Structure 1
Amino acid sequence: MKLAVEVIEMENETRLDQLKGDRSENIDASRCDLHTHTQASDGMQPPEENVRLAKEKGLIAVAITDHDTVAGVKEALEAGEKYGITVVPGVEISTRAGGKDIHVLGYYVDPANDLFLSRLEGLRETRALRNEAIISKLRGLGIKITLEAVVAGIGRELKPDESIGRPHIADELVRLGAATDMRDAFNKYLAESAAAYVSPPRITPEEACNWIIEAGGSPVLAHPGLYGDDQLVRGILERGTFKGIEVYHSDHKPADSERYLTMAEEYSLIITGGSDFHGARQGVVFHGDIGSVTVPFHVLDQLKKLADV
């Protein structure tokens, strides 16, 4: 991990300067958003549109990191050729540890790896069972919601390797008048400890790391600040074979990023970051707009070197 340590040492001063200023002012042609979602999972836009927007924002690279699927990667790579922008094939895997949902990002995974695709399919089946359980809880609360209506609300036919996420259920809750917007839907019903929250048995973060590495990729712990438990984060990092940590995220406060910057150095991890862009729902961009959180292009080189690319 000597290489990762060297990267961290070079970037510390730059990162701390970035924390003090407006992150939007740091977007330039050498920067990359390493966390975006598309219609392949719970994003609002086709993969090509994410790439086009990234180009429009002046980014040089964008990662496609859909939940438990790589279905959007092929279209995004083709769009990258079209718009002259680097597309990083990625994924965000759902795991469970310490009683919390933990997400593991994988960069430069092989989107044609049969074993990896089979494993992701199993995760989507778990996600489908969770969705049914959420709907059942919501109906038990007197809300007349159906999974069929949730799917219909998407407005298009889902592909076999695409999945329904909680934001889709939130959209239907808003349509039914049970919530004012997606944030309200999560706070009332879908977030951890909310009335209809369901968390089925999932793989561990360590297993997700192994899957990503076996698929030729580099595993990165996603948005550690959202877990609200740095002791848990440390335990996850110590047990897993992580190559990086998402220091910069739309929902991280500057103090969060400073803490994880220190943690990255402590554990010899590559510093990554991204907007967690999902698009706009009810006119509001959930998490952050594409390109609002970025890292320098050489971070991609470090991720590549630690992956089997």
Structure 2
Amino acid sequence: MYKKGDFHVHSTESDGELKPGEIVILAKKRHLDIIALTDHNTVCGNKQAIKVGKIHGIKVIPGIELSTRYKGNKIHILGYFYRDIYEGEEFNTTLENINKGQFKKCQMKNNGNISFRNEGGKLTTNAGIEFLHYYGAKVVLAHPTLIKYDVFDKLIELEFDGIEAKYYRNRENDTERFIKVAREKGIIYTAGSDFHSLRKVDIKHGTLGQIYLEEDEIKNFLNILV
């Protein structure tokens, strides 16, 4: 069973400074045995990370961090995949159109009943959740500590599968508060360093493995991915 996992990590495929494969090697050095690659608005690094992970005995959960808007607030949501549907043409074409703000083209795709609503050219949080769910992902609210209390209280009523309760920039008692919210709502919680680089001056993000889930917590997370 996996004993230590960091589920919020960025590579050179978005704004990180290490290649996906390099992150996996660093994870091994940091005694992590499971990670998730969650680059901003792209899944392009997952294939490399998974391949290198198999070589080095590190489990890699393919993921994404999607940028959305909720009533004028910037909200990031984390999607975790347990099948390779994210490699498909339809998913990636739709994601490309979302990133370009071409929502009418998204509506022309065979995407079920998803309504690609937008706020000022940005995907709404609810539409982002529906999009990721449609393609088989489980969706977690990223770094809730960065969200205003009143906004969070309304936001958490959306169809999230989990919440990133353990996070590098949590304030005092934040972790306990978010874990309590997760338990009350019957959803899981995750942990993420939001790793971007090895620079010591990067005060906005943690370093790989600094924040993590332990064995029983990882088991709960993986149970919802099957």
TM-score, L = length of structure 2: 0.84
1:236 is aligned, of 148, 155, 169, to: 155
Paired letter, 1:209: I
Residue in structure 1 matched with residue 109 of structure 2 by the alignment:
none
d(CA) in 2 for partners of 1:123, 1:297: 36
The answer on 1:284 being equivalent to 2:204 is no
Q: Which amino acid aligns with 2:52?
A: A
**Partner residue in 2 for 1:19:** none
Q: Which has the larger radius of gyration?
A: 1
**What is the distance in 1 between the residues matched to 2:33 and 2:10?**
17
The DSSP-based 3-state class of the residue aligned with 2:41 is: coil
Q: 1:117 to 1:304 in 2, by over 3 A?
A: farther
C-alpha distance in structure 1 between counterparts of 2:87 and 2:120, whole Å: 27
Distance 1:253 1:216, change over 3 A: same
How many angstroms does 1:271 deviate by?
A: 1.2
SS at match of 1:62: strand
3-state SS, counterpart of residue 7 of structure 2:
strand
**How many angstroms does 1:304 deviate by?**
4.2
Does the 8 Å CA contact 1:225/1:252 hold for their aligned counterparts? yes
Cα distance, 1:125 vs. partner? 2.1
Residue 52 (structure 2) pairs with residue 62 (structure 1): no
Alpha-carbon distance in structure 2 between the residues aligned to 1:106 and 1:72: 14
- Residue deviations 1:32-63 (CA, integer Å, cap 9, x gap): 00000001111111000111111100011111
Structure number with higher strand proportion? 2
Instruction: Tell me what 1:124 maps to.
Output: 99
For 1:225, the equivalent position in structure 2 comes to 145
Q: What secondary structure sits across from 1:290 in the alignment?
A: coil
Letter of the 1:99 partner, please give it.
G
| Aligned counterpart, 1:214 | 134
Aligned to 1:204: 124
Residues of 1 paired with 2:11 and 2:69: CA distance? Answer: 23
The reply on whether 1:82 has 2:1 as its aligned counterpart is no
Structure 2: give runs of 5+ residues left out of the alignment.
Answer: 102-118
Tell me, yes or no, if the aligned pair for 1:54 and 1:290 is still in contact at 8 Å.
Answer: yes
Q: What does 1:38-187 correspond to in 2, within 5 Å?
A: 38-108=11-81, 110-126=85-101
Residue aligning to 2:113: none
Structure 2: distance between partners of 1:200 and 1:71: 26
TM-score norm. by structure 1 comes to 0.62
- State the Cα distance separating 1:299 from its structure 2 match: 4.2
Q: Is the 8 A contact 1:41 1:66 kept in 2?
A: yes
Cα distance in 1 for residues equivalent to 2:69 and 2:221: 24
Structure 1: 5+ residue stretches without partners: 1-28, 127-198
Structure 2: distance between partners of 1:297 and 1:44: 28
Q: Which one has a larger percent helix, Structure 1 or Structure 2?
A: 1
SS state of the match for residue 251, structure 1? Answer: coil
- How far the C-alpha of 1:302 sits from its partner, in A, is 3.6
Deviation of 1:300 after TM superposition, in Å, equals 4.5
Percent identity, aligned pairs only, is 35
Partner of 2:172: 254
**Letter in structure 2 aligned against 1:116:** F
Inter-partner Cα distance in structure 2 for 1:215 and 1:300: 22
Q: Structure 2 vs 1, CA of residues 30 and 303 (structure 1 numbering), >3 Å: closer, same or farther? A: closer
Contact 1:218 1:304 (C-alpha < 8 Å) held by counterparts: no
User: How far off is 1:280 after superposition?
Assistant: 3.7
